[in-house]
Amino acid sequence: MRVALVHDYLTQHGGAERVLEALHDLYPEAPVFTSVADLKALPAAYRSWDVRQSGLRWIPGAARVHRALVPAYPALFRSFRRALRVYDVILSDSSAWSHHAPAGPGAVHVCYCHTPARFLHGDAGYLGPARIPRPLRPPVAAMFAALRAADRRAARHVDRYVANSRTVAGRIRLAYGREARGVYPPVDLDRFADPCCRPDRDVPTAEPWYLVVSRLVPHKRVDLAVDACTRAGRPLKVIGEGRAGKELRRRAGPGVEFLGRLDDAAVAEHLRRCRALLLPAAEDFGITAVEAQAAGRPVVAFGAGGALETVIPGVTGVFFRAPTTASLVAALDELERRSWNPDRSRANAARFGRARFQAEIVAEVELAVRHHGSGVERHGQNDER
């Protein structure tokens, strides 16, 4: 069975890229089709992959300004039509564009959907903090309307949707009128076990500071964490970089420390040592919330989105219900009044392991192929699993 992987863009290393890595491990011979790639911004292993870029690769600096090229993306992924004709299965993972990639005649397209494009389908939490200038709002609205129509047309050509959470399955239903089974993304649980501790022992005593691990962009609402910790006088460490960094540093109090981008080992060490992880935005799934629990730490999360499926209130964390500084400060107070059992956090995180994800994805692909039937038979090849 010939498989092609399709990914929105390879310009940073985040949760979507960790999903892609797990998919690539399943299908190591599969090429990865993407709009644009900056392999220097990714782990060295990507340099050994067969990465195939769209025509954006010929535009100098495209990887840095790719978000400004929004209107081009449907056509960019449709441009892979000829190259994708030779594959039996197109397996896309998409938070915006890669589900536009067309499968060849008789082939099957399975989309692992992180979310329907949030900027197209009415997510005020995504667009609100972006502060689009008033004069640009009418043309931006018209552009988004056209892109939204194209997005829904593309969704009709996907054979099977798989959602990364029940929350996203609901968004797929609203945006596309399609049903999707939920398969939680993979979390590398072993990375967060304390190397100094046996599995039957508690993690070390937490240090007094809170932690955020996030891209510093407006819709991640890191501003809430910065403002809440500044107001309450709680120390906060922020791991990550992004275009909102300058503004966040300006508003931060003396107890807020910005650490920039750290490698995986350093992130894991901070998760093991923090008092709790703060997850201030409504996430589609929220891998970092699971990672914190795998490290034995509780989570203070905005009570919406994927956190409702990954955090057990009063057992592995606390929710704050309004996206306000005051609500988050109250949640910090609640967290500090309670005691937390690291073993219960680790046990909850165990539901989200990498092997479980891969087994469920293989089952979804095989089910899609069986339903499609003739697509694989047309090429005279069988899946040898």
* pLDDT per residue as tens digits for the range 209-226: 999 999 999 989 999 999
Q: Do 63 and 143 fall into the same domain? A: yes
Query: pLDDT grade, residue 64 (50/70/90)?
Result: confident
- Amino acid identity of residue 125, one-letter, is G
For 223-244, letters b (16+ CB in 10 Å) and e give bbbbbbbbebebbbbbbbbbeb
In which residue are the tokens 């999903």 written? 19
Residue 172 lies in a domain: yes
What distance, in Å, lies between the first and last C-alpha atoms of the chain?
Answer: 10
Residue 384 lies in a domain: no
Q: Do 128 and 194 fall into the same domain? A: no
Residue 385 lies in a domain: no
Can you state the angle between helices 15-26 and 354-372, rounded to 10 degrees? 60
Q: Do 144 and 177 fall into the same domain? A: yes
**What is the structure's pLDDT at 356?**
95
Query: pLDDT grade, residue 379 (50/70/90)?
Result: very low
Q: Do 125 and 208 fall into the same domain? A: no
How far is 14 from 8, CA to CA, in rounded Å?
Answer: 12
The answer on pLDDT for 269 being more than 50 is: yes
201 or 19: which leads in pLDDT: 19
Query: pLDDT grade, residue 136 (50/70/90)?
Result: confident
The answer on pLDDT for 244 being more than 80 is: yes
**What is the structure's pLDDT at 14?**
84
Q: Do 370 and 315 fall into the same domain? A: no
How far is 193 from 364, CA to CA, in rounded Å?
Answer: 30
In which residue are the tokens 């490290």 written? 295
The answer on pLDDT for 202 being more than 60 is: no
**What is the structure's pLDDT at 137?**
74
Q: Do 214 and 296 fall into the same domain? A: yes
Range of the domain at 95: 3-186+353-377
For the record, the structure tokens of 131 come out as 């502060």
Q: Residue 15 contacts by C-beta under 8 Å, 6 or more apart in sequence?
A: 114, 185, 285, 287, 288
DSSP class per residue in 9-36: -BSS-SHHHHHHHHHHHHSTT--EEES-
Residue 55 lies in a domain: yes
Q: Do 54 and 139 fall into the same domain? A: yes
Q: Do 310 and 367 fall into the same domain? A: no
Pair 358, 22: CB distance under 8 Å:
yes
Tens digits of residue pLDDT in 67-88: 778 899 999 999 999 999 999 9
Distances (CA, A) of 191 to 27, 53, 69, 269, 295: 23, 31, 36, 9, 9
The answer on pLDDT for 200 being more than 70 is: no
**What is the structure's pLDDT at 377?**
37
- Write out the H or E segment, with its range, that includes residue 196: none
Which domain CATH number covers 213?
3.40.50.2000
Q: How many CA atoms lie within 13 A of 79 on its CB side?
A: 14
Tens digits of residue pLDDT in 160-197: 999 999 999 999 999 999 999 999 999 988 888 655 54
**Closest alpha carbon to 53 in 43, 45, 44, 63:** 63
Portion of the chain with pLDDT greater than 70, in percent: 91
**What is the structure's pLDDT at 381?**
34
Portion of the chain with pLDDT greater than 90, in percent: 77
The answer on pLDDT for 24 being more than 70 is: yes
CA 328 from chain centre, in angstroms, equals 23
Tens digits of residue pLDDT in 312-360: 999 999 999 999 999 999 999 999 999 999 999 999 999 999 999 999 9
Instruction: Give how many domains the chain has, as a whole number.
Output: 2
Q: Do 156 and 41 fall into the same domain? A: yes
Can you state the angle between helices 137-156 and 166-176, rounded to 10 degrees? 100
Q: Do 40 and 145 fall into the same domain? A: yes
The answer on pLDDT for 56 being more than 60 is: yes
Q: Do 146 and 13 fall into the same domain? A: yes
How far is 359 from 347, CA to CA, in rounded Å?
Answer: 20
**What is the structure's pLDDT at 46?**
96
Residue 382 lies in a domain: no
Q: Do 300 and 159 fall into the same domain? A: no
In which residue are the tokens 């009570």 written? 303
Tens digits of residue pLDDT in 275-286: 999 999 999 899
Residue 127 lies in a domain: yes
The length of the chain, given as a count of residues: 385
The answer on pLDDT for 150 being more than 80 is: yes
Query: pLDDT grade, residue 378 (50/70/90)?
Result: very low
Residue 150 lies in a domain: yes
**What is the structure's pLDDT at 374?**
45
DSSP code for 313: B
Residue 112 lies in a domain: yes
